[in-house]
Structure 1
Amino acid sequence: MATLVVLGYFTTVQATEDTSQHPIVANSNHQTPLTASEGLPKELSPEQIENLETEKYTFQTEVSRLMHLIINSLYKTREIFLRELISNASDALDKIRFISLTDPEALKTKAGLGITIAADPERKTLVITDTGIGMTRQQLKENLGTIAKSGTSEFLAKMEQNNDAITQIGQFGVGFYSVFLVADKVTVASKSNDDPDQYIWMSTAVDDFTIAKDPRGNTLDRGTQITLYLKPDAYRFLQEKNLKELVHKYSQFITFPIMVWSSEEQEVPVSSTQAKKEDIDALLNDDELIEESIDQEPSSDEQTEKRLVYSWHHVNVQKPIWMRDPKDITDQEHKEFFKSVSREREDPLAWTHYKGEGEIEFRSILYIPSVVTDVFFNNIKNDQSNKPIKLFVKRVFISDEVELLPKWLSFLKGIVDADDMPLNVSRETLQKHRSLRIITRHLVKKALDMFSSLSKSDPEAYKKFLGQYSTILKYGAIEEQSYRKKITSLLRFASSFDTESFSSSLDDYIDRAKANQKSIFFMTGSNIGEIEQSPFIEALLARGYEIIYFTDPIDETFVENIPGYNGKMFVNIAKADIDFAEDDKDFDRDNELEAKYKPLTDWLIKTLDQHIEKAVVSRRLTTSPLAIITPKNGLSGHAQRVLDAQGVNHKNPNMEYIMESMRLQKKILEINPSHPVMETLLDYVEEDNITKDVETLIQLMYETTAIRSGFPLKDMTQFAGRVEGLIRKAVGVSISEEAKVRVKKAEEKTKEEKLADEELKKTNIVYETEEDDMEHDEL
C-alpha cells in the first residue's frame, strides 16, 4: 500500500505503475469523494489567534530591505513565488531523505515524501505543504527572520545601486520572501523531528513577525505548511488550472510528487457518504476497508448523481529522464521527451545524453530537431539569440532565457540540470559565471561529437541533417576559430567526383588528390548544373583534378575565412592565379604562346576596354574560346549575384560604395590558344582585317562568356540588340526593317464616364468626412 498526503492528513490508495519509488501517489478516481473544503487544512480560529502566546520579533534590517526590493523591483513575474516555495519544499524533502539513509527512524513520523498545493477560494488562501525535514521554533526564527550570511549588507547595497552588478545572489536562500509578491499575510506551520511541538510563524511583511506554539497541535507529524492570504490582485492563483500550469512550467521534473487539490465532475451514488477528516485516520488502520472502498463499483440499480468530486491530482508525472542511466532510456522515451520539451511535432534526428563531472557537475540532453525553423534564421539575421536550452538546478526549472549555446548551435533543443549554480534573486537571468562557460564548453564538444557520430552511424540521416543545418555549421566555422577545424571536417559537398549533394568530406577530397597537389579546387554557382556548364572547370577536369562544387550562398564567404584545411589551400578556379603541378614544365611553351597571341590580346584590351583590365593566354581552357576571370581579391560572378539578391548594398551606404567599386572592377579575359575562333581572330588582327561586324561579334562573344561565367550583364538591351542583329544578318533581313503593327488604338473616355468618375470622387470624400466625425466622437 502507498500513502497520500492530504495537507497534514493521510488517505490510503492503491499504488499504481511508476509510483513505487514515491510513497505519495496520484489519487484513484474510485476513492470515496471529498467535498471542496474537506481536503483543506484546519485554519486557526479567531479565538485561537487571540489566545496565542506569541513572541514578536523584528525582521533583520537586511531582510526588510530585501523584501522591499523583491516586492518593488527585482522579480520580473509574480508567478515565480510558487516555483520558489516548491524549490524550498524539495530541498527540505531532500534533507530528510538524506538523513533517513543513515537514520531510518527519521521517516517514522511521516513515511510519505511529497508536496501538496491546495487553494481555498472562500478564504482566499493558498496552502503549500511538504513532508520534509521541518523546522524547530529556533529554526523558524533564524531561517525566516534573518539572512545568516556574511557580507549581506554589502550585497544589498550593490543590489540597490545597480541590479546588474549582482554576482552572488542565490547564495543567500531568499526565495521564500517572494511570497509577499502575492500575499499580504503569510503563516508557516512547521514540525521537526528535533522538536516535540509544532510551531507557527506569522507575518504581514511589514517590520515584524510572530512565532507561537501551534494551538491545533501536531497536525503535520513532520514537515512545513505555508498558508498565503492572497492580495485581491493575485486571486488568479486560486484557480486550479493556473496552479497546474505553473507547476508544469517550473517544477514538472521535481523528484518528489506534487499534488494539486482538484475537482472533477463524476457520477457518484446518491447514498455515498462524504469522507470526513476523522474518518481518514480510521482508514489508515484498516487495509481491508480501504481496498473495499477503492474497488467497489456501484450496483446497476443504485441511483447516482453528477457531483463535483475533489481529489489530489499528481501534476509532475513527467519524470526527469536525464537523471536515469542513458542505457535504460528507450528511443521512444527520448522522442516523447523531446516533443514535450520543444513542442516540436516531428521526431528528433539524433540526441546525446551527457553527465558532466569535475569542475562542475551537471546533466544534459541535447536533441537535433528534424527541421530548422524560420524563427532561428530571423533571430540570427536580427542579431538576436535563440535560447532553446531549458536550465534546471536540481530539477527545478530556472529559465529558458540563458545563453548556454553559441548562436550557431542554438538550433539544438534540450535541457541542462546543474547541481550547483549561482543565481540571481529573480532566477530569471544568470550571471556570466565561470560555471556557465564550463557548461557551454562541454555542450559544444558533445554537440560536435553527436554530429560526428550521426555521420558514421546513419549517413542518410546525416545528409538530412546537413540539408537543414550545413549553412549554420559554416556560420559557426566562420565565427568560432577554436572549433573551426572540427566543424569543417563535418561538412559534406558535391564534387566532380560525385555530384550528389553532401557526398564528400574535405578529408575524402584530400584522399583522392593528385600527386603534388597543393590546392583544394572549388567552383561556386547557384546549382550543380550551372557549374558543370562553366568554362572554368574544363582544364582541371581534363587534367584529372577533382573540383568541389559550392552551391550554398555562404560558401564563398566560408572559404575566405577558412583559407585551408589540413595543409591544402582553397583555390577558387573562377579567379586568377591557379597553379598546376606541371606549370614549371610548360613555362617555355607558355611564353611562346603569350608572344604569339600578343597582337590579339592587345586588340582585345583596346576593343573591350570598358570591361577588362588585361587579356592573357589561358591554361585553364580546353573547349571554350574565352573565360572571364575575377581578380584574386574581386567578386566572383556568383558572389555578386548572391549579394545583389540579398540587397546588402541597399542597407548600408558604406557597403553600397564598396560593392559598387567591386562591381566596376575590370576583369581578366583569358583566351584559349587552341580554339579555332581565337586562331582565326589572330589572323584577322595580323592582317588588319577587323570590320565593324567582327567588333560586334567579339562584344557579343564577351557578353555570352560573362553569362556563362556567372556575371550579370550591365545592359541587357544592348545584348539583346546584338543578338537580334546577328540573327537578322544570318537570315538576310535588313537591320532597319521594322515589324508591321496591326492593333486598334483604344478610344478616349466618353463624357458620361467622366461624370461618373466625378461622382465617385464625391462619394469618397463623404465617407472620409464621416470617418473623421466618428473619430472625434470617440475622442
Structure 2
Amino acid sequence: MSYKQTHVNFYCIMLQIFLRELISNASDALDKIRFLSLTDKNALSATEELSIKIKADKDNHVLHVTDTGIGMTKEDLIKHLGTIAKSGTSDFLSKASESTHQDMGDLIGQFGVGFYSTFLVADRVVVTSKHNDDEQYIWESDAKSFSVVKDPRGNTLLRGTTVSLHLKEEAHDFLEQNTVRDLVKKYSQFINFNIFLWDSKTEQVEEPIEEEEKEEEADKKDDEDEDGKVEEEKEDKPKTKKVDKTTWDWVIVNDNKPLWTRKPADITDDEYNSFYKSFCKDTEDPMTRIHFTAEGEVTFKSMLFVPKTAPSDTFQNYGKKIDSIKMYVRRVFITDNFEEMMPKYLNFVRGLVDSDDLPLNVSRETLQQHKLLKVIKKKLVRKTLDMFKKISKDDYEKFWKEYSTNIKLGVIEDHSNRTRLAKLLRFYSSNSDTEFTSLAEYVERMKDKQDAIYFMAGSSRTEVEKSPFVERLLKKGYEVLYLVEPVDEYCIQSLPEFDSKKFQNVAKDGLKIDDSEKSKERMEALTKEYEPLITWLKDDALKDVIEKATVSQRLTTSPCALVANTYGWSGNMERIMRAQTYQKANDPNSQYYGTQKKILELNPRHPLVKELKRRVETSKDDQTTKDLAMVLFETATLRSNFLVKDTAAFAGRIERMLRLSMDISLDEKIEDEPEDEDEAEAASDEAEAEPEQEEDDDTEKPSEDKDQAEAAAVPEEEAQEKETEKKDEL
C-alpha cells in the first residue's frame, strides 16, 4: 500500500472518531448528573431519562447528538468551547490537513479530539445546552469565531445538550442510518447508557378504502341489481387494503451491554459463550476463558478467550499486527491495533481490556507508550498463563495439540515468563507410548542419583527410539524425553534448567550415566586398552573428519556413534538448519557449526570394534583397514543423523566391501555394452571404405598384442595369492 493510500485510510478513520468522542462526552455528562442525583434529589426533576439520541436531518445535512446529561451553563460554554474555538480550532484543522501519517494521530492527544474532531466533518457546529442552574443557551462556531446567545425557543431540552453538526459535502455519508448504526456498534456499543437512533422502517398495514372507491363499489352493485341478479343482503363491513407505510421511531442501538462489568459469579456459561461468539465472530464456544479485575498501579477489567481451534493463519501472520485484543477506556472502544498488546506467541488469545485509569482523549500512538499500558500488558500475560495452567488434564491435551508451538516459542522469546511457560510444556517420552508428560512429572520419576533431564531430538518417535544414543539409558531404565517437533530442541536449549535439574542432550558430549568408582575404574581400563585404536583413528585414519575418538558409555548394540560437542549442533539441529527456507547462503554462523568436527565414540564390546583394534595392532597401514575405519565412521554418521559429506566415496567403499564379501575380484572390469545394429552397420561401412588402413592395422597388430601381453604378464600363482589375502582380511 502506498503512502498516499495509507494517509487517506488513516484520515477516514479520523473522520469516524468524531461520533465516538461525542458519544463519550455525552456519557460523561450522564455520569455526572447521575452521580449528582445521589446527593441532590432534585437533580433529575426536569427529566429522569438518562439516554443519548442521534438524529440525522438529510434535508438540511445536519446530524444531531442529544443527551440528557448535566448540561452546560453560559459560563461553561464560553470557558470550555469558546476557548477551544478561539485558540485552537483553525490551528488543528490546518495541522490535520498538512500532517503526515505518523504525525496525524498525535494531534488527538495534542488538541483533545472530543470536540475538535467535529470540525473535520462539519463547516458549522451548534451546541444547545440546558443546565439545572441556568437558562438554555446556544453556542455556535464556524471554526473561526464563536457566539453564545440565549435560546429564543426557551427550555426545549429540559436538561442536557444537543450538538448539531452542519456536515461538509464529503461527510454526508454520516447522515445514513446504517453508517451511524455501524459506527455506534463499532466504537460505543458498551456505553453504560442507552443510545437511540432516529430510524425508519417500512411495513405493510391495513388501511380503509377511500370514499371514492366505496362509491365505485356501490355503482357496480346497482348495475348488478338492474340485470336481475338478486343477492342475499349482507351486513356492511368496513373494507380495507394493504399498503406500504414508513414509520419513524427511536431504536436502541447498543443493546449489547458490557458483560465484563458484571461479577463473574453472576454470569452463566451460556452468557459467556454467546458473548464470545458475538464479540469474536466465532461459530464455536471457546476452549477456555478468564474474567478478572486487576487492581494496583492500574485498575482494569478484562475477559480473555482461547478459541477451540487454532486459526489456520497463526504462523503466516506471526509477528504481524493482529486485532485480537480490543482496548476500551470507560467502555469506549479505543483501538484493536496495538503493537504487542500481547506477545507474539499469544497471538491466538482473543478478548478485551477496559480501564478507567487511562486517558480517553489521546492518540493510539501516545497511548501505546503510556506507562500504565506496560503494566496492563504484563498483567495480561500473567493472567493468560494462569488460565492455561488451570485447564483440566483432559482438556489440556486438546489445548496442547492446537497451541503447543506457541508455548514453545514463548519459552524461546519471553525471558521474564520462561519459568511459568516451562510448566506448561508437554513432550512424549520413553515412559509412555501414547501420552504426553510434563517436565514436573518427569522430575518426579527421576532415579535417585540422576542429576539431569535426558532428551533426544529427531524427526519422529521411531527415529529417536532406535537411536544409538538412547541404547544404554533405556537399558538401565532411565526415562528419555522424545523431542520430535522442529521447534522442540530450540525450546529446550532456551531453558537453562527446570526444578534445579539441568537438561542433557544425549546426542552431545558430556553424558554421564554411571559415576561410581567401579565404573570409573572400568572406563579407565578400557581407555588404556583401546589407546592404540583411539590414537590411530584420531591421528591417522580419520584425522580430517573427527575431533577425537573415545570409548563410549552410552552404546550397547551399535559399534559406534558420532557425538556433537557440548556447544555444537546435533544431527537433528543440522537437519533443521539445512531445511530453513530463509537460510542465508554462506552464512558464517551456519558454516562454523556445520564444519565443526565431531567425536567418534566406540563400543568396546562390539565385535567390529574389537576386530578393528586387532588389525590396527597388526597392520595399521593396510588400506583395507583404513577403508574399514572410514566405513564405520560413515555409518555412524548416518546412524547419528548427520549427513555423509562425500557420498560418492562412501558408495565406492561399500561397493569394494561387497565385492570382497562376494568373492569378486577388485580388478574385475564391467562388461562393455553391446552395440546397437545401426552402430554396427556404420562401423562395417567405415571399415570397407578404408581397406588399406585395415591391412596396415592387421600387419602391426600381432606385434602390439605381443608387447601388451608381455607388459601385463603376472604369474597366475601370485595373483591368486593376493586375492586370497584380501578375502582373509575381510
Once the two structures are TM-superposed, the CA of residue 100 in structure 1 deviates from its matched residue by 2.1
Once the two structures are TM-superposed, the CA of residue 534 in structure 1 deviates from its matched residue by 0.4
2:106–2:362 contact (8 Å) kept in structure 1: no
Unaligned runs of 5+ in 2: 1-7, 211-236, 679-730
- For 2:64 and 2:518, the matched residues in 1 are separated by 90
1:184–1:230 contact (8 Å) kept in structure 2: yes
Equivalent position of 1:6 in the other structure: none
Equivalent of 1:192 in 128, 131, 147: 131
Equivalent of 1:586 in 502, 519, 523: 519
- For 1:272 and 1:400, the matched residues in 2 are separated by 56
Is the aligned partner of 1:682 residue 2:618?
A: no
Equivalent of 1:390 in 326, 333, 358: 326
Counterpart of 1:589, as a letter, is R
Once the two structures are TM-superposed, the CA of residue 180 in structure 1 deviates from its matched residue by 0.3
1:517-562 Cα offsets, whole Å, 9 max, x none, are 2111111111211110100001111222111112232232223332
TM-score (normalizing by structure 1): 0.75
- For 2:676 and 2:517, the matched residues in 1 are separated by 67
Once the two structures are TM-superposed, the CA of residue 731 in structure 1 deviates from its matched residue by 5.5
Higher relative contact order (CA 8 A, sep 6+): 1
Once the two structures are TM-superposed, the CA of residue 722 in structure 1 deviates from its matched residue by 4.5
Equivalent position of 2:643 in the other structure: 712
- For 2:239 and 2:315, the matched residues in 1 are separated by 64
- Classify 1:332/1:719 alpha carbon distance in 2 versus 1 (closer, same or farther; 3 Å): farther
Is the deviation greater in 629-638 or in 594-603?
594-603
- Classify 1:349/1:571 alpha carbon distance in 2 versus 1 (closer, same or farther; 3 Å): same
- For 1:473 and 1:466, the matched residues in 2 are separated by 9
- For 1:711 and 1:599, the matched residues in 2 are separated by 27
Equivalent position of 1:280 in the other structure: none
1:450-477 Cα offsets, whole Å, 9 max, x none, are 11111xxx21321222223233223323
- Classify 1:172/1:184 alpha carbon distance in 2 versus 1 (closer, same or farther; 3 Å): closer
Counterpart of 1:302, as a letter, is T
- Classify 1:689/1:360 alpha carbon distance in 2 versus 1 (closer, same or farther; 3 Å): closer
Is the aligned partner of 1:372 residue 2:310?
A: yes
- Classify 1:415/1:740 alpha carbon distance in 2 versus 1 (closer, same or farther; 3 Å): farther
- Classify 1:94/1:602 alpha carbon distance in 2 versus 1 (closer, same or farther; 3 Å): same
Once the two structures are TM-superposed, the CA of residue 638 in structure 1 deviates from its matched residue by 0.5
Once the two structures are TM-superposed, the CA of residue 351 in structure 1 deviates from its matched residue by 0.8
Equivalent of 2:425 in 480, 486, 491: 491
- For 1:189 and 1:247, the matched residues in 2 are separated by 22
1:617–1:671 contact (8 Å) kept in structure 2: yes
- Classify 1:690/1:310 alpha carbon distance in 2 versus 1 (closer, same or farther; 3 Å): farther
Once the two structures are TM-superposed, the CA of residue 608 in structure 1 deviates from its matched residue by 2.7
- For 1:301 and 1:629, the matched residues in 2 are separated by 99
Is the aligned partner of 1:183 residue 2:122?
A: yes
Is the deviation greater in 722-731 or in 424-433?
722-731
Q: How does 1:323-334 map to 2 (within 5 A)?
A: 323-334=261-272
1:210-241 Cα offsets, whole Å, 9 max, x none, are 11222233222222111111101111111222
- Classify 1:101/1:736 alpha carbon distance in 2 versus 1 (closer, same or farther; 3 Å): farther
- For 1:393 and 1:107, the matched residues in 2 are separated by 27
- For 1:374 and 1:107, the matched residues in 2 are separated by 54
Once the two structures are TM-superposed, the CA of residue 411 in structure 1 deviates from its matched residue by 2.6
| Higher radius of gyration, 1 or 2 | 2
Equivalent position of 2:76 in the other structure: 139
Equivalent position of 1:646 in the other structure: 580
Q: How does 1:581-730 map to 2 (within 5 A)?
A: 581-605=514-538, 606-650=540-584, 656-688=587-619, 692-693=623-624, 695-723=626-654, 726-727=657-658
Equivalent position of 2:715 in the other structure: none
Equivalent position of 1:245 in the other structure: 182
1:656-692 Cα offsets, whole Å, 9 max, x none, are 1221121111111111111122122222222328865
- For 1:703 and 1:248, the matched residues in 2 are separated by 68
- For 2:273 and 2:672, the matched residues in 1 are separated by 68
1:164-223 Cα offsets, whole Å, 9 max, x none, are 79999769855112100000011111122222x3221111111x1111222233222222
Counterpart of 1:266, as a letter, is E
- Classify 1:324/1:577 alpha carbon distance in 2 versus 1 (closer, same or farther; 3 Å): same
Give RMSD over aligned pairs.
3.6
Is the aligned partner of 1:312 residue 2:250?
A: yes
- For 2:209 and 2:532, the matched residues in 1 are separated by 112
Partner of 1:105, secondary structure, is coil
2:190–2:256 contact (8 Å) kept in structure 1: yes
Equivalent position of 2:410 in the other structure: 476
Is the deviation greater in 472-481 or in 317-326?
472-481
Equivalent of 2:477 in 544, 562, 575: 544
- Classify 1:140/1:628 alpha carbon distance in 2 versus 1 (closer, same or farther; 3 Å): same
- For 1:355 and 1:87, the matched residues in 2 are separated by 23
1:166–1:424 contact (8 Å) kept in structure 2: no
Counterpart of 1:314, as a letter, is I
Is the aligned partner of 1:452 residue 2:352?
A: no
- For 2:371 and 2:12, the matched residues in 1 are separated by 24
- Classify 1:412/1:740 alpha carbon distance in 2 versus 1 (closer, same or farther; 3 Å): farther
Counterpart of 1:201, as a letter, is W
Is the aligned partner of 1:467 residue 2:401?
A: yes
Equivalent position of 1:761 in the other structure: none
Q: How does 1:258-337 map to 2 (within 5 A)?
A: 258-271=195-208, 302-337=240-275
Counterpart of 2:606, as a letter, is H
1:76–1:426 contact (8 Å) kept in structure 2: no
1:419-470 Cα offsets, whole Å, 9 max, x none, are 120355445651422211221222122111111111xxx2132122222323
1:364–1:415 contact (8 Å) kept in structure 2: yes
- Classify 1:743/1:386 alpha carbon distance in 2 versus 1 (closer, same or farther; 3 Å): farther
Equivalent position of 2:193 in the other structure: 256
- For 2:69 and 2:402, the matched residues in 1 are separated by 48
Partner of 1:219, secondary structure, is coil
1:561-614 Cα offsets, whole Å, 9 max, x none, are 321112111111101011234344322211111121222223333223332121
- For 2:636 and 2:149, the matched residues in 1 are separated by 95
- For 1:82 and 1:378, the matched residues in 2 are separated by 35
1:167–1:431 contact (8 Å) kept in structure 2: no
- Classify 1:166/1:204 alpha carbon distance in 2 versus 1 (closer, same or farther; 3 Å): closer
1:375-409 Cα offsets, whole Å, 9 max, x none, are 443444xx544452111011000111224323333
- For 2:676 and 2:133, the matched residues in 1 are separated by 106
1:113–1:132 contact (8 Å) kept in structure 2: yes
Is the deviation greater in 261-270 or in 538-547?
261-270
- Classify 1:739/1:239 alpha carbon distance in 2 versus 1 (closer, same or farther; 3 Å): farther
1:8-42 Cα offsets, whole Å, 9 max, x none, are xxxxxxxxxxxxxxxxxxxxxxxxxxxxxxxxxxx
- For 1:610 and 1:423, the matched residues in 2 are separated by 69
1:171–1:422 contact (8 Å) kept in structure 2: no
Counterpart of 1:522, as a letter, is F
Once the two structures are TM-superposed, the CA of residue 320 in structure 1 deviates from its matched residue by 0.9
Equivalent position of 1:290 in the other structure: none
TM-score (normalizing by structure 2): 0.80
- For 1:743 and 1:343, the matched residues in 2 are separated by 72
2:109–2:366 contact (8 Å) kept in structure 1: no
1:110–1:221 contact (8 Å) kept in structure 2: yes
Once the two structures are TM-superposed, the CA of residue 365 in structure 1 deviates from its matched residue by 0.7
1:533–1:708 contact (8 Å) kept in structure 2: no
Counterpart of 2:455, as a letter, is F
- For 2:344 and 2:489, the matched residues in 1 are separated by 21
- For 1:100 and 1:600, the matched residues in 2 are separated by 97
Counterpart of 2:116, as a letter, is Y
